[in-house]
Amino acid sequence: MPTVTGRAMQVPAAGGAFQLVTREFPEPGPGQVRIRVHACGVCHSDSLTKLGLWPGLQFPRVPGHEVAGVVDAVGADVPLFKSGQRVGLGWHGGHCNYCNPCRRGDFMLCENQPISGIGYDGGYADYVLAPANALAFLPAELADADAAPLLCAGVTTFNSLRNSGARIGDTVAILGIGGLGHLAIQYAAKAGYRTVAIARGQDKGPLARQLGAHIYIDSTTQDPAKELQKLGGANLVLSTITSAKALEWVIADLAPAGKLLVVGAPEDGAIQVNPFPLLLGRRTVSGWPSGTGMDSEDTLNFSALTGVKPMLETYPLEQAEEAYNRMMSGKARFRVVLQVSS
Ligand SMILES: [Zn+2]
Ligand SMILES: [Zn+2]
């Protein structure tokens, strides 16, 4: 398991352009695995690395937290993984096992978790070194490029839905059809919810139905609150949009005991909440981060079982700048993936 040499697309400083560098990837230390990267998704959260927005981030840094590849080398004290196994690495970049949330088994809330591509170098590279306790096994049915976005966008929507308390047959509205939303619609429909997709424009209707939505609401020509009321109210609204203002109508119009679940990060400030619909109707506003390696593995297996797939645009590793700009433009349909090797 000697040191290997490979390419990396690193961010040299906050806001800097990607640099292609050749560097050494050492043999993994105790508890670590080295992954030969095959594909890595380009996520909006990579802007935290690119723009240096994460507190304490150190440069140069290689982003990438949607990593699909093969175990290349294994460090000491790693009983589960062996060279040649297909694995994935997501946002959750490991956990410490000694903080209070870890001691309670709630690894997603670990107080010392490194984020992949932020706390250590991520998947815009030929190799990644990662803690073994962050990894998921990839099912044989899923290609690397299809698996990659499921390790962040996929697990975030799948895991938030399955922990939301919504039951089979409940009315679940997905707000927004983008990188997260187009997966959330598929998961909600496959999970047995009455799935409502809400987005802007009539042209999204056929796509929403193709993804499995039973009902489509065009928020530019219809009033989503009224339309949801006609359906008896939503038990759950999963928001993947980036506008806090556009969420204000949702809370008052949830079904009694309904929940607004936020997985898309609002870019226009705080969500205003009128407390009376919360109090009188026992409604909830909540959020969800993503999931552990095991949650990712559940997501991948469910996706393989039910045929859930991301819609992709792929770029070679060296075009990380173009790929990143395409993702940030909001015009990609719907996830951007770097094809690193095969
Ligand atoms: Zn992400
Ligand atoms: Zn911990």
For the chain, the maximum distance between any two Cα atoms, rounded to a whole number of angstroms, is 64
Q: Which ligand is nearest to the CA of 40?
A: 1
Q: What is the pLDDT of residue 1?
A: 63
Q: Which ligand is nearest to the CA of 41?
A: 1
Q: What DSSP element (H or E) covers 20?
A: strand 19-25
Ligand 1 centroid distance, CA of 90 (Å):
8
Angle at 313 between CA 312 and CA 319, to 5 degrees: 140
* Distance separating alpha carbons of residues 129 and 35, to the nearest angstrom: 6
- Closest to 238 measured CA to CA, from 293, 178, 298: 178
* Distance separating alpha carbons of residues 60 and 313, to the nearest angstrom: 27
185 near 209, Cβ under 8 Å?
no
Q: Which ligand is nearest to the CA of 114?
A: 2
Q: What is the pLDDT of residue 268?
A: 83
pTM: 0.96
Q: What is the pLDDT of residue 92?
A: 97
Ligand 2 centroid distance, CA of 77 (Å):
18
Q: pLDDT digit of tens for each residue in the chain (342 aa)?
A: 699 999 999 999 999 999 999 999 999 999 999 999 999 999 999 999 999 999 999 999 999 999 999 999 999 999 999 999 999 999 999 999 999 999 999 999 999 999 999 999 999 999 999 999 999 999 999 999 999 999 999 999 999 999 999 999 999 999 999 999 999 999 999 999 999 999 999 999 999 999 999 999 999 999 999 999 999 999 999 999 988 888 888 887 889 999 999 998 888 888 888 889 899 999 999 999 999 999 999 999 999 999 999 999 999 999 999 999 999 999 999 999 999 997
* Distance separating alpha carbons of residues 130 and 286, to the nearest angstrom: 30
329 near 34, Cβ under 8 Å?
no
Ligand 1 centroid distance, CA of 122 (Å):
12
Ligand 1 centroid distance, CA of 226 (Å):
33
Q: Which ligand is nearest to the CA of 44?
A: 1
123 near 65, Cβ under 8 Å?
yes
Ligand 2 centroid distance, CA of 271 (Å):
29
Ligand 2 centroid distance, CA of 94 (Å):
9
Q: What is the pLDDT of residue 100?
A: 98
